[in-house]
């Protein structure tokens, strides 16, 4: 007796042409992923689209969608077979609240894609802050020959706000430099790779011990404006701050004031709202501040990682296993 044919599933990969190429899924990317996962690809019908030009048609039969900007209104009617949405990025704050997600549809994110680069960037950030590089760059713009000396970094303390994949990678990078790491998490339960762990409810008690504060937390209602003016005032005089999480976690206006006054020695910011940072923003010319265009945690192979992760999760689906990186609607990540 002939064996019944295994069912095939339709996945649609959707991208936005206004995003950087590193975050777009092209036909060439999909073909390369299919070569890496040939047996799994046999179970798939794959469509690739940009800017929603074919999205409505594709969703009529799609079982799965990869899309960081999925349509929300009437999604179930638009996609009656949809079972799973994979986002391109790790952060999903732009999709909150998740009351639009149809019942029976699982949302997963790309958490984990940033580990290697975040470890490098964490080390880079604390080294730049320790060496007063933001102030050095301000002096360069002003054509001012200003001697700024700094002590070795070993033995100093970094507070990492948010200790998920990115935060833990930042912590590893910092500890390799001999820096003590205080991890601030939701629960305060012990985590690997930190010298000390405290719950976010006790942030005000420990932030003043840090020479460097690195923000790596997702944006949720609980983390919005967490580092407000009062919390920034609790930082150690002369400390530095790096934000590679989300801009609204930090009150940037209050941060500017403390950089101008000298309360804080420097800041390295990689995330802004909106992005790109408008030309008229005062952050561009704030002294002792380095503006990075959201580049610290991504690399040119980002889509390769994303598609490999997607195929691995598809394999779990076929085996009846739970997806990895399922987004918790309550926590918001």
Neighbours of 187 (CB within 10 A): 10
Give the integer Cα–Cα distance in Å for 159 and 63.
Answer: 42
Q: Is residue 1 very low, low, confident or very high in pLDDT (cuts 50, 70, 90)?
A: very low
Token pair belonging to 19: 């995003």
Amino acid 70: pLDDT: 95
Average pLDDT over residues 27-31: 98
- pLDDT one-digit tens code per residue, 70-115: 999 999 999 999 999 999 998 899 999 999 999 999 999 999 888 8
Average pLDDT over residues 165-188: 96
Amino acid 141: pLDDT: 95
Question: Taking the chain, what is the end-to-end CA distance rounded to the nearest angstrom?
Answer: 48
Neighbours of 201 (CB within 10 A): 11
103: left (phi over 0), alpha (psi -120 to 50) or beta: beta
Please give the share of the chain, as a percent, with pLDDT higher than 90.
Answer: 92
Instruction: Tell me the C-alpha to C-alpha distance, in Å, between residue 302 and each of 53, 305, 314.
Output: 24, 5, 18
Q: What is the mean pLDDT of the chain?
A: 96
Q: Is residue 3 very low, low, confident or very high in pLDDT (cuts 50, 70, 90)?
A: low
Q: Token match 């039969």: residue?
A: 61
Average pLDDT over residues 249-277: 98
Neighbours of 231 (CB within 10 A): 17
Give the integer Cα–Cα distance in Å for 277 and 272.
Answer: 6
Please report which residue ranges of 145-251 form alpha helices under DSSP H: 165-175, 203-206, 229-233
Amino acid 4: pLDDT: 60
Give the integer Cα–Cα distance in Å for 295 and 265.
Answer: 22
Amino acid 324: pLDDT: 97
Token pair belonging to 162: 């948010």
- Range in 199-208, 286-295, 297-306 with the lowest mean pLDDT: 297-306
Amino acid 333: pLDDT: 86
Average pLDDT over residues 228-252: 98
Average pLDDT over residues 194-199: 98
Residue 140, pLDDT > 90, answer yes
Give the integer Cα–Cα distance in Å for 188 and 161.
Answer: 11
Q: Token match 């590089």: residue?
A: 133
Q: Same fold for the domain at 9-113+300-318 and the one at 115-291?
A: yes
30-68 as b/e: b if 16+ CB within 10 A: beebbeebeebbebbebbbbbeeeebeebbeebbbbbbb
Give the integer Cα–Cα distance in Å for 69 and 4.
Answer: 37
pTM of the model: 0.91
Instruction: Tell me the C-alpha to C-alpha distance, in Å, between residue 56 and each of 48, 61, 94.
Output: 12, 10, 21
Q: What residues pair up with 45 in beta bridges, in sequence order?
A: 10
Query: Domain 9-113+300-318 adopts which CATH fold?
Result: Rossmann fold (3.40.50)
Amino acid 329: pLDDT: 85
Q: What residues pair up with 215 in beta bridges, in sequence order?
A: 161, 243
Amino acid 114: pLDDT: 87
Query: Domain 115-291 adopts which CATH fold?
Result: Rossmann fold (3.40.50)
Domain ranges of the chain: 9-113+300-318, 115-291
């Amino acid at each position: 007796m002939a064996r019944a044919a295994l069912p095939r599933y339709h996945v649609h990969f959707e991208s936005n042409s206004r995003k950087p190429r590193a975050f777009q899924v092209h036909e060439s990317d999909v073909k390369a992923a299919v070569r890496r996962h040939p047996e799994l690809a046999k179970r798939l019908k794959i469509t690739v689209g940009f800017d929603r030009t074919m999205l409505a048609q594709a969703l009529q039969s799609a079982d799965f969608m990869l899309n960081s900007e999925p349509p929300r209104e009437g999604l179930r009617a638009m996609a009656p077979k949809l079972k799973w949405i994979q986002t391109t990025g790790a952060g999903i704050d732009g999709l909150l609240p998740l009351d639009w997600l149809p019942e029976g549809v699982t949302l997963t994110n790309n958490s984990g894609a940033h580990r290697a680069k975040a470890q490098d960037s964490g080390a880079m950030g604390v080294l730049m802050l320790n060496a007063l590089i933001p102030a050095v760059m301000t002096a360069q713009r002003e054509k001012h020959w200003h001697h700024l000396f700094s002590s070795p970094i070993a033995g100093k303390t970094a507070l990492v706000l948010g200790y998920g994949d990115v935060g833990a990678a930042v912590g590893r990078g910092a500890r390799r430099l001999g820096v003590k790491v205080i991890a601030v998490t939701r629960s305060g339960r012990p985590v690997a790779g930190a010298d000390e762990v405290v719950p976010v409810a006790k942030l005000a008690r420990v932030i003043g011990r840090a020479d460097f504060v690195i923000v790596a937390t997702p944006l949720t209602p609980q983390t919005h404006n967490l580092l407000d003016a009062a919390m920034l005032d609790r930082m150690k005089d002369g400390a530095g701050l790096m934000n590679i999480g989300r801009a609204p976690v930090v009150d940037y206006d209050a941060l500017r004031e403390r950089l101008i006054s000298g309360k804080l020695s420097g800041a390295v910011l990689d995330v802004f709202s909106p992005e790109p940072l408008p030309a008229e923003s005062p952050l561009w010319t704030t002294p002792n501040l380095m503006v990075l265009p959201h580049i610290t945690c991504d690399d040119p192979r980002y889509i390769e990682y994303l598609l490999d992760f997607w195929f691995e999760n598809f394999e779990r689906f076929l085996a009846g296993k739970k997806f990895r990186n399922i987004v918790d609607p309550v926590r918001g990540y």
